[in-house]
Structure 1
Amino acid sequence: MSEIESSTPQARGPADHSVREQIVEAAGEHFSHYGYDKTTVSDLAKAIGFSKAYIYKFFDSKQAIGEAICAQTLSKIVAAVDEAVASATTPTEKFRRLFKALVATSVELFFNDRKLYDIAAHSAGEGWPSALAYGKRIRQTLMEIVREGRERGEFERKTPLDETVHAIYLVMQPYANPLLLQYNLDLVEEAPTQLSNLVLRSLAP
């Protein structure tokens, strides 16, 4: 299951998905032109042609709209990671492909579309539910890979599993967190391979 859900309350009115999608799509376009910070719900209402009160039937705040956009984007990254991991046959290769897919997909989505980066940066910086769910999902995948690697004798078993997964996730942070990724774009070609090698050496039995 690769879908990232936001726990921020989003809908207050009828469960009309087409209207919600219309609001999210229009908001994304507005954010791309004016930025997330400078956009208000009133601005969105004028741009979309809805009343502010009508938008509030579906989303309780500007953040809730941003959350919906962010959750969609993070779900695409998780789906790419899941696909990459599924095509590997060993835990070692699964980890390599996880890291590579995460970085490549994040760069493609966030930095080819600045509105997505803007919203993702807010999500990470302010600890939005979608960002927290994304981090939890990546750590769960890491947990599964490390556990399988231990069962198959590829990885050491002395270090507590939670500690190992947490340490690996810390190593990945400069490339998993969009706030940090922007400062490491010149290294995205070689970093996933080099850091994967470092992590895998530390996991050797």
Structure 2
Amino acid sequence: MSHPERDTRQIIVDTAERFFRDIGYQKTTVADIAKSLRMSPANVYRFFDSKKSINEAVLERYKREQEEAIIAIAEQDRPAADRLREILIASFRLNAARFAGHARMQEMVCAAMEESWDAIIAHIERFDAVLRRVLADGVASGEFRAIEPAHATGCIRTAMIRFMHPLLISQCECIPGPSAEEMIAFILRGLEAQPQGA
């Protein structure tokens, strides 16, 4: 079944993303997007009330892809440590693939953080909810030591920030430090339940 309005919105988002990659968020105008689509700027504004809202839609697609991927991992019937490891490495790889080495896309993220901070915070809260669920599973099964999942989630996100934040992934590449896999192994070691009598 065709949904013309939804399809047009998607085409606008696809076109905007291409411009953001090719010339950068700051240089892209709604007129550029409209001209590429052989539309008037007024027609674009029927679907998006501002360039900021187009940017939010581009980022929303990225966030949705990441969130769907980590939720699928969290729902698997596997040990919590395995799921947590895979969630963290998948998040790093998805962000690196999208943003590492793509200065113009990093510019778009910076703009989103300045203009749409509420949307970024909402994404972090959804990410944290998935981590809390996996951590709570690990505590309940005795796999992880008795920790407060909400507190541990904040610590894990902070420990992984250089592997998650689109700007830091590139900026920290040349700084000595652990790999993402080494950091995840360190985190998991800290979560392990201690053997009885240890």
| CA distance in 2 between partners of 1:169 and 1:126 (Å) | 23
* Count of residue pairs the alignment pairs up: 190
Contact 1:35-1:115 within 8 A present in 2 as well: yes
Alignment-derived partner of residue 196 in structure 2: none
The corresponding residue for 1:178 is 166
The one of 21, 29, 34 aligned to 2:18? 29
Change (3 A) 1:108 1:61: same
Q: Paired residue for 1:105, among 76, 94, 100?
A: 94
Distance 1:48-1:129 versus aligned 2 partners, 3 A rule: farther
Aligned equivalent of 2:183: 195
Query: Greater shift after overlay, 161-170 or 55-64?
Result: 161-170
Q: 1:94 to 1:195 in 2, by over 3 A?
A: same
Q: Alpha-carbon deviation of 1:77?
A: 2.1
Corresponding residue number in structure 2 for 1:76: 65
CA distance in 2, matches of 1:162, 1:85: 16
Q: Distance in 2 between matches of 1:141 and 1:198?
A: 20
Aligned Cα root-mean-square deviation (Å): 2.6
| Equivalent position amino acid for 1:160 in 2 | E
Question: Structure 1 length as normaliser, TM-score?
Answer: 0.80
- TM-score, normalised relative to structure 2: 0.82
- Contact persistence 1:31–1:115 (CA under 8 A): yes
One-letter amino acid of the structure 1 residue matched with residue 148 of structure 2: P
Q: Secondary structure at the match of 2:46?
A: coil
Cα separation, partners in 2 of 1:178 and 1:124, compared to 1, 3 Å: farther
With 48-57 and 119-128 compared, the bigger mean Cα shift is at 119-128
CA distance in 2, matches of 1:36, 1:152: 47
8 A Cα contact 2:100 2:166, kept in partner: no
Alpha-carbon contact 2:138-2:144 (below 8 Å) kept: yes
Q: Structure 1 residues 191, 85: CA separation in 2 closer, same or farther (over 3 Å shift)? A: farther
Contact 1:124 1:179 in 2 (8 A): no
Amino acid at match of 1:48: L
| Structure 1 partner of 2:126 | 137
Residue 39 of structure 1 aligns to a residue whose secondary structure is coil
1:5-34 Cα deviation digits (max 9, x unpaired): xxxxxxxxxx81122122112222222222
- 2:33 matched to which residue of 1? 44
Which residue pairs with 1:120 in the alignment?
109
CA deviation digits over 1:60-114, x for unaligned, max 9?
1101111111111222222333344445610111111111111112112223766
Which whole-Å CA distance do the structure 2 matches of 1:81 and 1:110 have between them? 18
2: distance between equivalents of 1:67 and 1:136?
17
Give the conservation status (yes or no) of the 8 Å contact 1:30–1:47: no
Residue ranges of structure 1 left out of the alignment (5+ in a row): 1-14
Q: Which residue of 2 is the match for residue 160 of structure 1?
A: 148
